[in-house]
A and B are shown apart, each in its own frame.
Chain A
């Protein structure tokens, strides 16, 4: 079992719809969770971080964390063609003083006009 799993997609949604991206992780003591967006040929760019159970909203983006079920999700409301990218889920290892992140393989999102 991979430590951080994402469906590679592509996930295709029409413009204006809600895109839902999911990520599961195996380390039960993980504490910090991140969503990065990566456009083709570019570097990953942080869009959301979440540390506590529940929802965190930032503009059109909402991150949801459920530690009991070991999943984190990203909702993108009113999806735009410019949201078309690969979304990487990253998890920080839970125990010890570590700055390392473990990344999922990413989900490719396609927003169709």
Chain B
């Protein structure tokens, strides 16, 4: 079955380290998204991509980067991890219907703790 996966599922890192979170989908969706979820803030968009070589900043992009070299993957990199980036990270992709009807499907999430 087609799906969206994230790895690792849990990660502990230290302040200042570079961290990369993986997102892989097998639906062949063009659109992919990264969110973070924190108590009191809901889901906030970090970066998104509408296709290979396309990346865009979301509302909370500072300190994060993404690259899209193929359709299936959108890795999220924390350039220099900060304690404020401790969060749950969700990757999502949306289907091929006309944009007004597209539905986003979420991966299982990655819990990141920055010490």
Contact = CB atoms under 8 A, between A and B. Distances in A.
A100 to B, nearest CB: 6
A105 B42 CA distance: 4
Contact of B48 (A31, A90, A99, A104): A99
Interface of A is mostly: loop
Contacts, number: 54
A45 B94 CA distance: 13
Given A43-B90, A43-B108, A44-B90, A49 B103 contact: yes
A92 B31 CA distance: 14
Interface residues of A, number: 22
Interface string B10-54: 000000000000000000000101010000111111001010000
B31 A99 contact: yes
A51 to B, nearest CB: 7
Given A43-B106, A43-B108, A45-B106, A103 B42 contact: yes
6 contacts: A31-B100, A32-B100, A100-B33, A101-B104, A103-B42, A105-B42
B107 A43 contact: yes
A51 B100 CA distance: 8
Contacts of A51: 100-101
